[in-house]
């Protein structure tokens, strides 16, 4: 590893750690001020950030950036400001009868210095949303954004420098080598959003320092369509959920499970809805490009591989955009060994798999890794509840896609290979806090009766305790 790089990273960490040690429990006013600066920075520079993201992607719909990256951070900061005082307050916890008149209190204490590694697909939101939680909890924050969005990363670094002291929050830009070195720092908590493959390496690097990690990963998130669904509504919402950010979303529906007799009609309705939303692909300002040439080539390779194995490829448009905008496609009759059925897609391709009985669909889901998201479409509540009981997923949206991600009053996170830990709202505050249990003993406690020398009194008291617990 480059010695100068290693020294630069350690100095940044040391500066923040010293600042934290001088202020281990920031007051409510200090934390509120930091959150208000995040909010001000986001509001003032939202358009500039959206423009930077468009440059990084080749083209990104301005409205998608303003909704998914800018509004979401504003929403998270406002939610934290509204609830911060309550989150910080030590809370009484019930105390068993045999420990009275002592009492239990739970104190939430900041961890120290938090490292955040953010990805390219939502480059501002996935850096700043965990930062909001870490700052609310009273921590210092170092952020390593993706090297694949250099314009956004550089702008974010400049904005953070203008609004925060480096010992409060700092953005460290650089390539993959910088990212690797970053994850090896002895943070008090490391938060990573990205692929499952890279997440495994991050967890291994953090383990060497016994650094706790939150891993927000991905996987193949299924959408299960029930026979009781409204086909038109389902098609519209699936089309939006799949094509938002051109499918480059960790919780995008990765494949559909559809009753076999409904595959053809639903496919045609989805195609129609995609064409309604995007009447053309070439030059359409509403339709986002694939972020890099490498990702574009990978997605085209998935289509080619599926077609060579006998899949039917239904494209929304007969055109060649000539840039990195990729024409959306539905893939039918895809064999299970096709690459598109084994890897997370992260693009505007949607395989549709038919089933006869719901048990087949559940078995298909449960054979794979536990996904980050699961979607269910239908009106039959008992069928819905059966699916919820029989599957695991990081989160669920019923009769729509994506929107569970925006709930600040619910935890967001993966399970199994799709991640560990959660954040958003109070769950983010707790992730970046040490919940320290305090037992406050009373001067009138009878615990002296349990002190040696032991004898008949101890035996009688122990027998009494066994009866009352």
* Residue 216 is among the residues annotated as catalytic for this protein: yes
Nearest CA to 275 out of 322, 223, 318, 229 is that of 318
Question: How far is it, in rounded angstroms, from Cα 56 to Cα 262?
Answer: 39
* Active-site residue identified among 64, 129, 216, 426: 216
Show the DSSP H helices in 101-190 as ranges.
125-136, 150-163, 176-183
Taking each continuous run of H as one helix and of E as one strand, the counts in the chain are 15, 16
Residue 386 in tokens: 């059966």
Question: How far is it, in rounded angstroms, from Cα 96 to Cα 135?
Answer: 35
Question: How far is it, in rounded angstroms, from Cα 320 to Cα 402?
Answer: 29
Question: How far is it, in rounded angstroms, from Cα 136 to Cα 35?
Answer: 7
Reported in sequence order, the residue ranges of 365-442 that DSSP labels E, i.e. its strands, are 373-377, 395-398, 419-420, 433-440
* Active-site residue identified among 129, 250, 344, 401: 250
Sheet hosting strand 312-315, strand order edge to edge: 312-315, 329-332, 349-355, 255-259, 222-225, 373-377, 395-398
* Residue 229 is among the residues annotated as catalytic for this protein: no
Provide the 3-class DSSP secondary structure of residue 396: strand
Radius of gyration of the chain (CA): 26
Question: How far is it, in rounded angstroms, from Cα 354 to Cα 241?
Answer: 20
Residues tagged active-site: 216, 250
């Amino acid at each position: 590893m480059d010695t100068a790089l290693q020294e630069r990273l350690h100095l940044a960490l040391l500066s923040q750690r010293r600042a934290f040690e001088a202020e281990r429990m920031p007051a409510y006013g200090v934390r509120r001020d930091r959150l208000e600066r995040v909010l001000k920075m986001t509001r003032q520079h939202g358009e500039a950030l959206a423009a930077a993201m468009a440059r990084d992607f080749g083209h990104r719909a301005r409205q998608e950036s303003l909704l998914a990256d800018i509004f979401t951070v504003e929403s998270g900061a406002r939610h934290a400001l509204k609830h911060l005082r309550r989150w910080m307050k030590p809370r009484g916890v019930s105390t068993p009868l045999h420990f009275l008149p002592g009492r239990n209190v739970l104190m939430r204490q900041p961890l120290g210095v938090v490292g955040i590694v953010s990805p390219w697909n939502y480059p501002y939101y996935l850096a700043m949303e965990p930062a909001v939680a870490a700052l609310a909890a009273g921590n210092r924050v170092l952020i390593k954004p993706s090297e694949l969005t250099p314009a956004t990363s550089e702008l974010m670094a400049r904005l953070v420098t203008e609004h925060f002291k480096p010992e409060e929050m700092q953005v460290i830009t650089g390539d993959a080598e910088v990212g690797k070195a970053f994850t090896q720092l002895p943070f008090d908590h490391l938060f990573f959003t990205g692929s499952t493959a890279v997440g495994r390496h991050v967890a291994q690097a953090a383990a060497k320092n016994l650094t706790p990690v939150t891993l927000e990963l991905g996987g193949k998130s299924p959408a299960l369509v029930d026979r009781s669904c409204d086909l038109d509504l389902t098609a519209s919402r699936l089309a939006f959920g799949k094509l938002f950010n051109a499918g480059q979303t960790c919780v995008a529906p990765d494949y559909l499970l559809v009753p076999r007799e409904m595959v053809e009609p639903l496919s045609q309705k989805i195609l129609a809805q995609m064409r309604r939303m995007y009447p053309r692909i070439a030059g359409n300002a509403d339709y986002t490009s694939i972020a890099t040439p490498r990702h574009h080539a990978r997605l085209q390779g998935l289509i080619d591989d599926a077609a060579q194995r006998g899949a039917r490829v239904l494209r929304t448009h007969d055109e060649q955009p000539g840039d990195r905008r990729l024409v959306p496609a539905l893939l039918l009759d895809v064999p299970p060994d096709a690459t598109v059925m084994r890897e997370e897609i992260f693009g505007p391709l949607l395989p549709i798999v038919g089933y006869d009985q719901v048990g087949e669909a559940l078995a298909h889901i449960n054979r794979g890794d536990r996904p980050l998201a699961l979607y269910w479409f239908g009106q039959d509540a008992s069928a819905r509840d059966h699916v919820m009981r029989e599957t695991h997923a990081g989160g669920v949206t019923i009769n729509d896609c994506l929107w569970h991600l925006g709930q600040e009053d619910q935890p967001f996170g993966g399970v199994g290979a799709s991640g560990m830990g959660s954040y958003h709202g109070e769950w983010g505050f707790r992730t970046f806090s040490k919940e320290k249990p305090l037992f406050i003993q009373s001067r009138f406690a009878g615990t002296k009766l349990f002190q040696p020398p032991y004898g008949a009194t101890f035996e009688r008291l122990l027998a009494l305790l066994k009866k009352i617990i």
